[in-house]
Amino acid sequence: MMKLKFGIIGFGKIGKLRKKIIEELDIGKVVAISDPSAQKSDLEKDIFLTKDYKELLKQNIDCVVIATPNNITSKAVIDSLKANKHIFCEKPPGRNLKEVLAIKKTFENTKNIKLKFGFNHRCHYSVMEAKRIMNSRQMGKLMWARGFYGKSGGINFEKEWRSSSTVAGGGILLDQGIHMIDLLNYFMGNFNEIKSYVDRVYWDIPLEDNAFALLRNNKKQYAILHSSSTQWKHLFRLELFFTDGYMILSGLLTGSRSYGKETLLIAKRQFENELELVGNPMEEEIYFDDDRSWYFEMEDFYKCVLENKDVHEGSIDNAVEAMEVVEKIYSLDSTWGKTFN
C-alpha cells in the first residue's frame, strides 16, 4: 500500500488526533507540522517544524491536513491548493460564505487535486444506518425532520477563540450547528426557504449562543433546527419522520463521551388496526459502542487521492451548501441580520 507524505497545519487537539489516525491507519507519514506553539521536543526528530505554514507548503509533501482556528482556514486552504497539495480540512470551511466561495473558485482552477472537509458526522454508525434504512424505502417518504445540537458552555467559554467574532466568524451555529445542517442536507437535499431567529441570550460574547430555524426545500419537506450553548449539557438529537414511521438518532460517541450513548430508534407507523395501541408504536433501539467516523473519513480521503476519485462526502459542494444555509439563518433574522450584514 502506497504511503502518502502529510503535513499538518495547526497542531492543537484536533491536529494531534489527525496525526494519530494517519499513523494508525498506516496510510502515510506526517513529515511536516506548522503551528505557532508546537515544540520540537514533542515531535519525532525527522519532522520538519515551522511557525509559518507557507514554509510547510514548500516541503516534499503530498497532502495537507488543516486544523486551524477559523480565521486562518480559508487562507491556508487556498494557499495549499495553489501549492498543488491534496487537502483535508476541518470544519467549518471558513468564517462566512464569501471565504468558502473563494476556496471553490481556486479549487476549480486545479487539476487532479482532492479537497475534503471534515463533516465526520456522516460517518457515524447511527447516521450511516439511518441513511441505509431511508434509502431502502421501508419507511416510506421522508416528510420532515427536527435537529438539536449544542453544548453546555463552560467556565472559560467566553475566553475561548471560538467566542471571538474576528477569529471564529460565528457562534454556536457555525461551530456545531453546521454539522446538523450538513446532516439535514444529507438526508433531505438543499433548502430554498428559511425562517430564523438568532440571538445572544446568556453569554457575554459578540456572537450568537442560540439559533432557531425553520427550513423547507423544493420537495416540500420541512426541517426544524436548534443549535444552542445554553442548554447546560451536551446534546445531539436528530428526528426523521416518514410516511410509514420514524427514526430518532440520539447521542453521539465522541472522545469525551459527553454526548451520551449513540443510539438509533426505529418505529413503524401503527394505527391502521384499531386493536393496536394508537400513539405508542413498537420501537426498536440500536446501540452503537464505537466511533470510527474520524477513521472512515480519512480512509476515504486517502482512497480519493490514491485512486484519483472525486470526493463525494465532505466535498467543496457540501461545504458551500452548508455555508449557504448558515449565512441565510444569520442574515434572515430581522435583528441579528443587521449586525451580521
Given this model, what pLDDT does residue 243 score? 97
In a domain, 218, yes or no: yes
Given this model, what pLDDT does residue 142 score? 98
Could you tell me if 58 and 143 lie in one domain? no
Could you tell me if 132 and 214 lie in one domain? yes
Residue that finishes a domain, picked among 62, 90, 119: 119
> By C-alpha distance, which of 8, 34, 4, 5 is closest to 19?
8
In a domain, 303, yes or no: no
Strands 63-66 and 86-90: parallel
In a domain, 61, yes or no: yes
d(CA 159, CA 91): 21
Q: Which domain holds residue 174?
A: 122-294+323-340
Q: Would the pTM of this model clear 0.85, i.e. be above it?
A: yes
Could you tell me if 205 and 285 lie in one domain? yes
- Give the CA count within 13 Å in the CB-facing half-sphere of 297: 26
Gyration radius (Cα) of the chain, Å? 21
- CATH at 289: 3.30.360.10
Cell of 338: 443587521
Render each residue's pLDDT in the chain as its tens digit; 341 residues. 789 999 999 999 999 999 999 999 999 999 999 999 888 777 888 999 999 999 999 999 999 999 999 999 999 999 999 999 999 999 999 999 999 999 999 999 999 999 999 999 999 999 999 999 999 999 999 999 999 999 888 888 998 999 999 999 999 999 999 999 999 999 999 999 999 999 999 999 999 999 999 999 999 999 999 999 999 999 999 999 999 999 999 999 887 778 899 999 999 988 766 666 667 888 999 999 999 999 999 999 999 999 999 999 999 999 999 999 999 999 999 888 876 55
d(CA 207, CA 330): 11
Residue that finishes a domain, picked among 71, 88, 119: 119
φ, ψ of residue 310 in degrees (nearest 5): -65, 145
In a domain, 300, yes or no: no
Residue that finishes a domain, picked among 119, 145, 169: 119
Could you tell me if 278 and 169 lie in one domain? yes
- CATH at 73: 3.40.50.720
